[in-house]
């Protein structure tokens, strides 16, 4: 079957994603659907975010969704298992269900969940661990990922390994798709432009004045930083004051409305480019679905 390649900006190394993203071996998960914004460095379980509303921005519809990711993982995973069985080797377990994904923009405007802040401050709650990964023997490991020196691991296995070869059948290259760089760039641009919006600037000034009433000296919600591994009482107190001042000033609502308008403008100006990304994604998902249904094609 002929597979059309995806743009290079769509691709990430397949072995790292499949082996370390909880798709086949149950490692910790990082992926293209991680929450965006300056504070989003970890994931949080669904049970800790019930009180926080989900804010959907116009550009969000162009990003890979958790459902898209699961379809792609399944398609490549089925092909990997088929490749391993063809070599007379036992496939690794999977695909495993990924942990719950938080809303994409959960921490885009800083902390907003008082229940979480009261316990974790600016830190995100730990992610529940997945099933421990399986230890592979050398033959199965090399069959999956290829060899370090580029030699063919065995006659009945593709030279690049089953993972890269399987990903190539879905993506057209030995990589796993990520959200394209130009889309990520627009997402960052909209956030940076929102910081200059007059309404947001005034809202941050009101927020800063509110924080001073609680003896905190911050100009914007992006300034608080607590690098310690665990939240301290001072961090928790600061985070709760931060949230209270956001609510009192309506800063998050102002900020979200301003960035929504900015993203709509970006979409209007980059319509053809974004439409092309959606076409590429639809083709990718169709290939992944075909692979998942019939790994021999």
Average pLDDT over residues 275-280: 96
Which has the minimum average pLDDT: 105-119, 138-152, 187-201, 238-252? 138-152
Under a CB-based contact definition with an 8 Å cutoff, are residues 142 and 83 in contact?
no
- Whether the per-residue pLDDT at 200 is higher than 90: the answer is yes
How far is residue 70's CA from residue 97's CA, in Å, rounded to a whole number? 8
What's the length of the chain? 297
Residue with tokens 């730990």: 126
Which of the pair, 37 or 124, is modelled with greater confidence?
124
Report CA dihedral (185, 187, 188, 189) to the nearest 10 degrees: 80
* Residue 8 falls in which region: left (phi positive, over 0), alpha (psi -120 to 50) or beta: alpha
- Whether the per-residue pLDDT at 236 is higher than 60: the answer is yes
Q: In this structure, is the dihedral angle defined by the CA atoms of residues 18, 24, 29 and 32, taken in order, positive or negative?
A: positive
- Whether the per-residue pLDDT at 211 is higher than 70: the answer is yes
- Read off the pTM: 0.75
How far is residue 117's CA from residue 111's CA, in Å, rounded to a whole number? 7
Could you report the per-residue pLDDT of 117-165, keeping only the tens digit for each? Answer: 999 999 988 776 555 566 778 888 888 988 877 777 777 888 889 999 9
- Where does the pLDDT of residue 51 fall: very low under 50, low under 70, confident under 90, or very high at 90 and above? low
Question: Residue 43 has which token pair?
Answer: 């994931």
pLDDT at position 99, please?
60
H helices present in the chain, as ranges: 14-20, 66-86, 114-120, 138-145, 162-171, 181-194, 198-213, 233-249, 251-269, 271-293
Report CA dihedral (274, 275, 280, 282) to the nearest 10 degrees: 120
Which has the minimum average pLDDT: 97-111, 215-229, 281-295? 97-111
What are the two backbone dihedrals, phi and then psi, of residue 107, each rounded to the nearest 5 degrees? -115, 20
Residue with tokens 């391993």: 84
Average pLDDT over residues 262-266: 98
pLDDT at position 32, please?
29
Could you report the per-residue pLDDT of 67-88, keeping only the tens digit for each? Answer: 898 899 899 999 999 999 998 9
Under a CB-based contact definition with an 8 Å cutoff, are residues 156 and 85 in contact?
no
In percent, the amount of the chain with pLDDT more than 70 equals 75
């Amino acid at each position: 079957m002929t597979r059309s390649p995806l743009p290079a900006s769509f691709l990430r190394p397949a072995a790292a994603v499949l082996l370390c993203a909880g798709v086949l071996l149950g490692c910790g998960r990082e992926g293209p659907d991680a929450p965006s914004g300056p504070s989003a460095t970890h994931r949080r379980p669904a049970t800790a975010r019930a009180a926080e509303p989900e804010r959907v921005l116009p550009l969000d519809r162009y990003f890979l969704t958790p459902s898209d990711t699961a379809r792609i993982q399944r398609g490549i995973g089925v092909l990997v298992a088929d490749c391993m069985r063809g070599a007379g080797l036992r496939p690794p377990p999977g695909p495993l269900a990924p942990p719950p994904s938080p809303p994409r923009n959960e921490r885009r405007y800083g902390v907003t969940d008082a229940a979480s802040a009261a316990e974790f401050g600016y830190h995100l709650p730990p992610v529940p661990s997945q099933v421990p990964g399986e230890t592979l023997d050398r033959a199965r490991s090399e069959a999956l990922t290829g060899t370090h020196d580029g030699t063919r691991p065995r006659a009945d296995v593709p030279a690049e390994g089953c993972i890269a070869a399987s990903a190539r059948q879905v993506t057209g290259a030995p990589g796993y798709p990520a959200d394209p760089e130009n889309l990520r760039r627009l997402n960052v641009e909209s956030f940076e432009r929102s910081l200059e919006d007059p309404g947001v600037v005034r809202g941050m000034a009101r927020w800063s004045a509110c924080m001073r009433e609680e003896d905190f000296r911050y100009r914007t919600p992006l300034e608080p930083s607590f690098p310690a591994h665990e939240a301290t009482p001072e961090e928790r107190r600061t985070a709760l004051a931060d949230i209270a001042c956001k609510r009192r000033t309506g800063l998050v609502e102002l900020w979200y409305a301003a960035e929504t308008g900015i993203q709509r403008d970006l979409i209007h100006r980059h319509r053809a480019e974004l439409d092309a990304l959606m076409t590429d994604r639809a083709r990718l998902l169709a290939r992944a679905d075909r692979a998942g249904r019939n790994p021999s094609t």
